[in-house]
Structure formats: structure tokens, C-alpha cells
Amino acid sequence: MRSDVLYPEITPHTTGYLSRADGHEIYWEEVGNPAGIPVVFLHGGPGAGLSQNSRRFFDPEKYRVILLDQRGAGKSRPFGSLENNTTDHLIGDIEALREERGIEKWVVFGGSWGSTLSLAYGQAHPERVLAFVLRGIFLGRETEIAWFMDGMGRFFPEAERKFLDVAGFDRNPGWQKMLDRYTEIFAGNDGEDAAIEAARVWSAYEATCCTLLPDEGLVEDFESDEVALALAKLEHHYFVHRCFFEPNQLLENVSRINHLPVVIVQGRYDVVCPPTSAFALKDAWPEANLVIVDDAGHAASEPGIVRELVRAMDQFDGKKFK
């Protein structure tokens, strides 16, 4: 058992594209034991895509892990597309991939936006879920979107300064006006170069706020074209549409999934997705195992977060967490 570090790097033994009727092609890959306990990995963002470390939270002898780049992200095609890109479309892709890979039920593992999508998928298809492992809870509520747009900067004002500058503001005008201004920029009203620069600044702002201690490598990754150009535009798209949810939808529908085992891993000093959302989920789901990591922020790469995510997966026996 490994409960404190990631498993060694692993190469997918199978990869492919899931073709959807609306023209999207969803990249997926599989690692681990083909006869193991099935897991689906749902990345954050929306739009962040997979990384090599996404494969490493799981014992490759115990688990059959399916990972996918959500619509518009990573290797999925068309890259950065907002067309036919809603939460319901993503849920449909996940379910279609489950059927395509011949899986009856699986563990649903997701962090940040991946936790949002995990809950939404589970509530749509509870009969297909064995358990949940969730990190950095984001419930898609308007208050959480508002916090991202004009709250994080209270802790990282120097990073917010760039976020405001690229939008042409001397000070934060409020979350809705910020969102509206980025709508104009991403629509190309200020030119293509301005849209690309704004996407990089948006992504770097989030990355800067992600960790308890500075992580320049993470910021550089988020600023890269492979991440920034999808992450910023897709996050903004989902924020504008309130993640395509009714108000408090995920909390109000917890009864659909609260018979299933769940571990929630939450950084105490998570500035991107503050712990209040994890506690709100725990209040709605008293049976949930909420693990607070007192020396971590938001990122899945932080040592305490890694430790607890790996520990949760190591302790799952196919039916429950030990």
C-alpha cells in the first residue's frame, strides 16, 4: 500500500477517440489492470485537460483507470470549442464512454470542476457509480463563481492586478462586470491577440491562487497554449451559464447518491474553492467522509492532497472505504 506518494509514472496501454453525433471527438486513455476495479478520472477546469500525473493516484494492479479529456480540452477535438459544450453534454460523453468500454459501474474520481462534474454525473446515473473520491469542492453556485471573479484577489492582489489590467480595470468592478468584460474580450472584440493574452492571464491567475506555497512550474503549465486557450474560455463559458445548473442543484439532489460511499479531500487554505463548499456538501450528505488537509490549498499536486487522495483509493475495497 502507498498512502503518501503518487504511484510511478505509467503509460496508457490503450487510447482512442469517442466520436459523438454532434462532431466532438473525446480523447480517452486507459491504464492499469484491465480486470481491476473500474475508475473514471474527471479533470478540472472546465478545460484543464489531463496531465501525466492524472494517472498516478491509482494502484495499477488494483484499478482499471479510464481518463478522458472533456469536450474542447486537451487532445479532444475540436480544441477549445464552446459549441455543444454544456454539463449535460459532458455527462453524456462520460456515460457513452462507460458503455463503449464495457464497464457496468465505476468509481468516479474528480477534483475542482471534476468534483462538480462527478456529482452531476452521479446524480444523473447513480446506478453506474461504485463510489466517489472528490477534491476541492466546487458546486457551481453563483456565489462560488462570484468568489473566483472578485474574491481570490483579496489573498493574491498582485496576481489579481494582471487579471484586472488585461480587462482594462483599475480596480475590481464586481464579479458580473468582470465576467461581462471577459465575454467581450474572448468574443474577439479587442482582437485575437488580446483574447489570447487574456486567456493566458486568466489561467495564470488561477494557477497562482491554487497552491499554499508558490509553484512557478504550475503557473507556467497553466500559461501554456495547451492549457490556457481552452481553460480560460471554457471556464468563462461555464461561469456565464452558471455551469448549466439550477440554483443549488447539486446540493438539492444529493439524495440521489447519498447511499454511495464518498471521500471528500479539501485543502484548509483552498483559495480557489474555499472549504465552505465542502462543508455545505457534508451538511447535505452527513455520511460523507470529509478530510481536511491543514497544510494545503487547492492543487491536486500538493503533498497533503496527494497523500489523502492516494490513501482513499488504496483503502477502497470495491464496495466501501476501510
- The catalytic residue positions are 112, 270, 298
* Helix (H), strand (E), coil (C) string for 282-309: HHHCCCCEEEEECCCCCCCCCHHHHHHH
- Rounded distance, CA 258 to CA 260, Å? 5
Terminal CA-CA length for the chain: 13
**Letter for the amino acid at 320?**
K
Report the alpha-carbon distance of residue 263 to residue 135 in Å, rounded: 8
CA-CA distance, 312 to 134, in Å (whole number)?
10
d(CA 41, CA 114): 8
Residues in the chain: 322
β-strand 63-68 against 25-32: which pairing, if any?
antiparallel
Distance of alpha carbon 224 from alpha carbon 275, whole angstroms? 28
Cell 459544450 belongs to: 85
Nearest Cα to 66, choosing from 17, 24, 30, 35? 30
Rounded to whole angstroms, how far apart are CA atoms 320 and 52? Answer: 27
